[in-house]
């Protein structure tokens, strides 16, 4: 579901704009984190995506996880809000630029089996150890910091 971003892109071209989004850390019982391998960059990432028209941010992240991984989240928790332009400004390989305003979530409860649903965006999905997460893009590493902050202070991290 990229209709909203596509509609904006038709008007703005590659020009940057501010857009609400969500990303999530999904952790299994082995304390491993769910990652995806992206088709556009070939790099790893955590499940994430852009808010669509008529959608809540909660519905957005639940939809994105289902589309990217096949999992249906049962419970999610907000752990952070990341809006720092130095961190949330992204330039994509096709020339598109965007500044995200991202709500960061955490979950360790879901149903279903891992299976790539959206092969246009995702090459593979798997759980990995925390040591592998240093390869995440800079903006996605913010969620890791937010999770540590949330666990230490029991409140969301604002950046």
65-105 pLDDT tens trace: 999 999 999 999 999 999 999 999 988 888 999 999 999 99
Cβ–Cβ < 8 Å for 48, 141? no
End-to-end CA distance of the chain: 28
* Beta carbons within 10 angstroms of residue 140's beta carbon: 24
Q: How confident is the model at residue 158 (pLDDT cuts 50, 70, 90)?
A: very high
Would you kindly state where each structural domain of the chain is located, as residue ranges? 3-158
Whole-number percent of the chain with pLDDT over 90: 74
Q: How confident is the model at residue 154 (pLDDT cuts 50, 70, 90)?
A: very high
Question: Which of the residue ranges 62-66, 110-114, 116-120 would you say has the lowest mean pLDDT?
Answer: 116-120
Task: Tell me the pLDDT of the chain averaged across its residues.
Answer: 93
pLDDT at 2 over 60: no
Nearest to 126 by CA among 111, 113, 140: 113
Fold of 3-158: Nucleoside Triphosphate Pyrophosphohydrolase (3.90.79)
pLDDT at 137 over 70: yes
What is the model's pLDDT at position 90? Answer: 87
* Alpha helix ranges (H) inside the chain: 3-12, 57-69, 85-88, 138-153
Average the pLDDT over 5-11 and give the result: 85
Cβ–Cβ < 8 Å for 103, 78? yes
């Amino acid at each position: 579901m990229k209709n909203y971003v596509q509609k904006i892109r038709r008007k703005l071209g590659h020009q940057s704009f501010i857009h609400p989004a969500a990303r999530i850390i999904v952790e299994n019982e082995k304390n491993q984190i769910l990652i995806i391998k992206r088709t556009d960059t070939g790099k790893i990432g955590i499940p994430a995506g852009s808010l669509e028209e008529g959608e809540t941010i909660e519905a957005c992240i639940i939809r994105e996880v289902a589309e990217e991984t096949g999992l249906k989240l049962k419970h999610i928790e907000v752990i952070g809000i990341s809006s720092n332009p130095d961190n949330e400004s992204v330039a994509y390989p096709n020339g598109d630029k965007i500044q995200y305003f991202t709500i960061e979530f955490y979950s360790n409860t879901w149903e279903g089996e891992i299976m790539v649903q959206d092969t246009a965006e995702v090459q593979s999905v798997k759980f990995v150890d925390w040591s592998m997460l240093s390869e995440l893009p800079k903006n996605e590493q913010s969620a890791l910091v937010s999770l540590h902050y949330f666990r230490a202070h029991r409140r969301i991290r604002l950046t």
